[in-house]
Amino acid sequence: MAGFAQILPMAQCLALLKWVKDENLESVLSDPVKPWQNGTNESFNGKFQDECLAMEWFRNRLEAKVIIGDWRRHYNEIRPHSSLNYRTPAELIAGLKNNLSTETRQSS
């Protein structure tokens, strides 16, 4: 789990995993340094890193908040996604709403 390991040092990741095991908890976390356990999240993290973080030099938190917010809006509303058959999320939602209203009219 590269994303988690990037936030916490490896010793803390291992301590957390040990605690989860000692408490007999079922972990929903990916193991440290095993990004293939959560491909969707790691794919997003890679895009965020490559398309936003690596392209900017933030001078302060406010600037980071604004730039990351703009990137997030672009990613969620404007950018086509291969997983959505190269549609934007907004196009997908509009199509679903249209299909629902058509189905509702036909069943009435």
pLDDT at res. 17: 78
pLDDT confidence of residue 1: 39
> Residue 5 pLDDT more than 50?
no
Beta carbons within 8 Å of 4's beta carbon, 6+ residues apart: 13, 29, 30, 32
Q: Summarize the confidence of residues 6-30 as an average pLDDT.
A: 75
Report, in this order, helix, strand and coil percent for the chain, each rounded to 5: 75, 0, 25
CB 8, CB 15: distance < 8 Å: no
pTM for the full model?
A: 0.56
Confidence at residue 26, expressed as pLDDT on a 0 to 100 scale: 76
B/e letters for 17-33, b = 16+ CB within 10 Å, e = fewer, are eeeeeeeeeeeeebebe
* Residue 25 DSSP label: P
pLDDT of residue 89: 87
pLDDT digits (tens, 9 = 90+) for 30-86: 776 677 777 777 888 889 999 999 998 999 999 999 999 999 999 988 999 988 999
Domain extents in the chain: 1-51, 58-108
Residue that is written with structure tokens 């490896």 in the block: 10
Contact 34, 5 (CB under 8 A): no
